[in-house]
Amino acid sequence: MLPGVPLELKGIFTEELEPQFLAAGSAATVRELRFMFAVEARFYPLMREIEEKFPDVSVGSYPNFETKELVIRCLGIDPKRVEEVIEFVRRRTAQLGMTGEARQP
């Protein structure tokens, strides 16, 4: 059995971390596209292009070797910008003959 979160840590969170990082209110928007049997290396040029065109949206690729899926995850404050990136990825991957399934994690 574990004792739980120490009171000191609760105080640090409540007094320092919460007001600084959580007071603004809105949570980030996260969307995913999942590609079956996709090779992560083929996405490298696309990921670099997304970084340049959409600097306000964080994009990562996460291969899952058990399910044979490649997850492209987009995270940002503005939901419209995140959706723009998802659509951009869809268009570009369709040109390469790949289709992704959209999910919200």
d(CA 58, CA 96): 22
Its pTM surpasses 0.75: no
Q: What is the mean pLDDT of residues 59-64?
A: 92
Per-residue pLDDT, 22: 62
pLDDT per position as a tens digit, 42-53? 899 999 999 999
Order of strands across the sheet with 101-103?
58-64, 69-76, 29-36, 101-103
Among 4-8, 90-94, 101-105, the least confident range: 101-105
CB 74 within 8 A of CB 30: yes
**Strands, E, within the chain: which ranges?**
29-36, 58-64, 69-76, 101-103
pLDDT value at position 17? 66
Tell which CATH classification among 3.40.50.1860, 3.40.50.2000, 3.40.50.1370, 3.30.70.600 matches the domain 29-103. Answer: 3.30.70.600
Q: Which residues of 44-68 are buried (b: 16+ CB within 10 A; e: fewer)?
A: eebeeebeeebeebbbebeeeeeee
- Please count the other Cβ atoms lying within 10 Å of the Cβ belonging to residue 76: 20
Confidence of residue 83 (pLDDT cuts 50, 70, 90): very high
Q: Are 93 and 46 in contact (CB under 8 A)?
A: yes
